[in-house]
Structure 1
Amino acid sequence: MRSTFMGLETSKRGMFTQQTALYTTGHNISNANTLGYSRQRVNMQPTLPYPGIGLNAPKIPGFIGTGVEAHSIQRVRDQFIDRQFRQESNELGYWDAKSRAITQMEDVMTEPSKFGLNESLDLFWKSLQDLSTTPENAGARKVVTERGVTAAESFNYIYKQLAEIQGNLKNEIDVSTKDVNSILKQIAALNENISKVEPNGYMPNDLYDARDTLIDELSQYFPIQVDYVKTGGNSLAIAEGTVTISLKTNSGLIELVKGKEASQFEHNLPPGDNKDPFQGFTINGAPTNGVTIGHADLQAGQGKMLSIINSYGYGNAGKGDYPEMLAQLDKMAKEFANAFNAIHRAGFGLPPDNSTALDFFVDPNGGPITAGNIAVNQVIKDDPNKVAASTEPNQEGNGKNAMLLAGVKTTSINGLGNATVQSFYQSLIGKLGVDGEQANRLAETSGVKMLTIANNRASVSSVSLDEEMTNMITFQQAYNASARMITVVDETLDKIINGMGRVGL
């Protein structure tokens, strides 16, 4: 015969289970605005029916249910959407960093501008044309030297600003490397904690969320592969286990995190203002130790780290957005100075000095001329009469050489690919504009795709207060009904205990 008190146990289980569901709903509501939180649900299942199976089991028409239990508390997450999110995060990280680096370069080299290099050179050519008509005028000569100083300083300013940004990019590589190393350590620590909880039959959902948030952050820097390893013991079948994080390279996968072990990145960049190009990373510590990867090993167009490296500079040939632009500016300044100085050395200043064979543009330290050091010869700055405006000595009114100097503006220079100085600079600006437009467009496209995937993930994993309120009412009513059922069973038992055996009383 079945137990008279069986209904009490069945309803008690119902109350406990609905109470657990209510607590979980409250946890969801409390974390509705928590970054990275995934809503949780109670997986309910019926308890074993009565009677059990065996020779001594009572013979009744069929199994009688014994109630419900909370089998597990599981977060709602879609790993397929997570993979999509991380892949797009990786691409967005690359193009967003690329766009920022080029935008900073455009800010320095803004053209057309009243204060840009192009305008400085135009004013310099105009001052030479004015000098050609009044070569004996001291004021016109002073204007030429001052406009020459302005043009040289424009070169210096652009070079200095670009070099400073390149230095900032170097610092960003260093900071990003430290961030990556910190993330790897934190993931390994969470793996260790998860491996201690799961074998006891529990689901450490909040630890899963913390780990996934870190993996999302890591995916911005490098393309990664995430694999899950079961922890064993009494772990539930739906337990996620620990993660193994591997770096995707052109030569294969490199494990960065495995269980509680985390490797660390070390870049080769020296401290200080040295702008040595990036050569590679060395990965140290378990699970991978002593492995070196270079720029060629990093997958093209993938991750914020590679984008920063591409902008800063890499390899032995000075490749990269900023090294290449600085090299082009150096070439432009050198060829401009050489072409101008060749004509200036052949001319003559005002008598009685008639100084000749003077370079107008020099490096003050006596080295090769670059965009960073080009300057007007101090001798000429101190004495503008030495500006070689004349093609002949002792001819104050001869301004033919000044006209030849002004003609450098339209002279095709072999060292610049047969372009003029300013058309060469305009081609640099044009290419920069195209690169910037491409980076901005791809960053915007990746951002839109990222937003779409993020919305898809939110529709699965985020907390909906409307849904939670509905669940709360549902679980509350089920709890109340189970409590009412206990009252009914209690009244039934009261009738059996206190109302039977009273015949004749």
Structure 2
Amino acid sequence: MSSLNASLSIATQSLLAQEDNLAVTNNNIANVNTVGYSRESVSLSEASPTDEDGVSIGNGVTINGITSVQDELLTLRIQQQTSTQSSADAQVNALTQIQTLFPSTGTSLSSSFSSFFTSLSALSSNPTSTANRQTVLSSAQTLVNQFNSISAGLSSPASSLNTSVKTDVAQINKLASQAASLNQQLVQAQASGQDSGTVTDQLNAVELQLSGLTNLTVTHTSDGDSLSIGSGTPIVLGSKSYALSTTNNSSGDLQVLDSGGANITSTISGGDLGGTIQVRDTDLPSLSSSLDTLANQFATAFNAAQAGGYNQNGTAGTALFSGITSTVAGSAASIKLATTDPTAIAASSDTATGGNGNVANLTALQNTVLPSGQSATTTASNLIYQIGNLTSTATAESTATKLSLTSLNNEQSSVSGVSIDEESANLIRYQQAYEAAAKVVTTIASLFDTTINMISGS
């Protein structure tokens, strides 16, 4: 009887195992089109055998639980690539708007320089012409306007970028709170032996969204997933989340603070937040610095050339550009035309009225190397190249990462996605296994009846 009882127990466990297999397969089929769903499988292992009279006899199957079929390495790579692409996209969106300030055709800083020096060349042929002198002043004013306009244009994106920083930080805090709650549910489900696949999928989805916002590091622990950003700033530890905050610096730019109030802005990279900070704190200041340096050095050099000549009234030339100080920062915004008097242009090299000897010194500044190491016209052209290169690099990275993500998602789908053909085949396999186990139960029940009848008959 003990052998029949053992066999019945093995058969019953087999029935339960196949029931779980059928239920999980049914759930997989039901979620074949559910975004983010990872197919599940029943984890089974052989039960420890029993040793009887030196003979090892199997004890059937043990149900360990239900697990999601996932590749953690693939998930990590997808998170990393998502972070990279979101950062590149944020940079492209911001830089594309900034690029309009540096057109390669039409009215631009480069074309304004060209027009200014062309007007000076025309003045050389007829230095007493009031019309020619007025054209020089008009061209100079256009150049000044370009500096002022571009400087203002480089300042305006900071406001929208700061808004993006604030929005991203709020979203990170919201998702971190959700992750902490899911960690708690995951630990409870695993402790009670319940299916944790749904919670795991939800946690992965939250982590993927966080990766789209910043550089996320995920560490699996017994208390769930620990999440950190930047250079290791924790935002989730077990069931507890740690909120970030923002504050303005002296320039009015939003800074990101950790839960303890430490400034972590410079450590953040990747994701929309990292890309936004990259443009605001690195790309924009670099462009502004180049523009200010050009305005300051060109105006200083031109004013010096003016001082070396004489105006139409025979007196020493005075500055054509004002608003320039020894402090380079802000020069593009502050540069102005110092005079509206056409006679003030120091075209002559001596006090003689109508001379043009100093025009050559003025026009030479078109190609004269400034302290920055390049001429004014070359620097103006390089500004167009600088913003174009930044935009092109970010666009190329976005495109390349998008292709990589597509490949990784396809690979993940082949691992974690639901295949109707595979699940249909599993249904048949588990059905047959269930029927076989049921047949064993029926056979053992029949043997029990026979044995009981034999005992009753005796």
Aligned partners of 1:14 and 1:77: how far apart in 2?
26
Q: Which residue of 2 aligns with 1:182?
A: 174
Following TM superposition, by how much is the alpha carbon of 1:332 offset from its aligned partner in structure 2, in angstroms? Answer: 0.6
Q: How many residues align?
A: 448
Q: Which residue number in structure 2 is paired with residue 234 of structure 1?
A: none
User: Does structure 1 residue 333 correspond to structure 2 residue 333?
Assistant: no
- 2:65 corresponds to which letter in structure 1? S
Asked if residue 260 in structure 1 is aligned to residue 239 in structure 2, the reply is yes
**Correspondence 1:269 to 2:269:** no
Change (3 A) 1:404 1:247: closer
SS in 2 for 1:218: helix
Distance 2:179 2:275 in 1: 24
Aligned residues of 2:38 and 2:416 also touching (Cα < 8 A): yes
Other-structure match for 1:376: 337
CA spacing shift, 1:96–1:339, aligned 2, 3 Å = same
Distance 1:312 1:62, change over 3 A: closer
What residue identity is the alignment partner of 2:187?
S
Deviation at 1:360, TM superposition (A): 2.6
- Structure-1 separation of matches of 2:48 and 2:218: 41
Give runs of aligned pairs for residues 93-104 of structure 1, distance below 5 A: 93-94=86-87, 97=90, 102=95, 104=97
Q: Provide the rounded CA distance (Å) in 2 between the counterparts of 1:144 and 1:291.
A: 54
- Of 362, 367, 381, which aligns to 1:405? 362
Q: CA deviation at 1:41?
A: 1.6
The equivalent residue for 1:455 is: 410
- Please point out which of 258, 263, 273 is paired with 1:283: 258
Could you tell me how far apart the structure 1 residues matched to 2:320 and 2:162 are?
Answer: 36
- Distance in 2 between the 1:141 and 1:161 partners? 30
Q: Where do 5+ consecutive residues of structure 1 fail to align?
A: 230-240, 314-319, 501-505
The answer for the alignment partner of 2:118 in structure 1 is 126
Q: Distance in 2 between matches of 1:445 and 1:216?
A: 19
1:83 maps onto 2:76 in alignment: yes
Structure 1 residue 38, shift from structure 2 partner:
1.0
Q: Find out whether 1:226 has 2:219 as its counterpart.
A: yes
Q: 2:152 maps to which residue?
A: 160
| Equivalent residues of 1:46, 1:69 under 8 A apart | yes
TM-score scaled by length of structure 2: 0.78
Secondary structure class of the residue paired with 2:257:
strand
Residue 199 of structure 2 corresponds to: 207
Match of 1:309 among 277, 281, 302: 277
- Tell me how far 1:180 sits from its aligned partner: 1.9
Post-superposition offset of 1:331:
1.3
Alpha-carbon separation, structure 2, partners of 1:405 and 1:64:
100
Following superposition, the deviation at residue 305 of structure 1 comes to: 4.1
CA contact (8 A) 1:222 1:304 kept: no
1:26 maps to: 26
Contact preservation (8 Å) 1:38, 1:75: yes
DSSP-derived class of the 1:227 partner:
strand
Instruction: Give the alignment of 1:348-367 within 5 angstroms.
Output: 348-349=311-312, 358-363=318-323
Query: 2:258 is paired with a residue of what secondary structure?
Result: strand
For 1:344 and 1:311, locate their aligned partners in 2 and report how far apart those are by CA, in whole Å. 38
- Return the offset for 1:427: 4.0
- 1:361 maps to a residue whose letter is F
Please state how far the C-alpha of 1:442 moved relative to its aligned partner.
4.9
For 1:43, the equivalent position in structure 2 comes to 43
Amino acid at match of 1:329: L
Q: Is the 8 A contact 1:389 1:401 kept in 2?
A: yes
- Any stretches of 5+ residues in structure 2 without a counterpart? none
**Which residue of 2 is the match for residue 236 of structure 1?**
none
TM-superposed deviation, 1:330: 0.7
**Alpha-carbon shift at residue 291 of structure 1 (Å):** 4.8
Q: Identity of paired residues, percent? A: 24
Measured on the aligned residues, the alpha-carbon RMSD in Å equals 4.4
Q: Which amino acid aligns with 2:409?
A: A
Note if contact 1:8-1:486 (Cα within 8 Å) is conserved in structure 2. Answer: yes
Instruction: For residues 417-454 of structure 1, give each alpha carbon's deviation from its aligned partner in whole angstroms, at most 9, with x where no partner exists.
Output: 3x321123334444555555555555555545444443
When residues 290 and 119 of structure 1 are mapped into structure 2, their CA distance, relative to the original with a 3 A threshold, is: closer
> Which structure shows the higher helix fraction?
2
Give per-residue Cα distances to partners, 1:101-122, cap 9 Å, x unaligned: 55554443243x2322111211
Distance across 2 between alignment mates of 1:12 and 1:400: 110
Tell whether 2:238 aligns with 1:245: no
Partners of 1:14 and 1:479 within 8 A in 2: yes
- Mapped to 2, the partners of 1:412 and 1:247 lie a distance apart of 45
Matches within 5 A, 1:467-482: 467-476=422-431
**Greater mean deviation of Cα atoms: 442-451 or 419-428:** 442-451
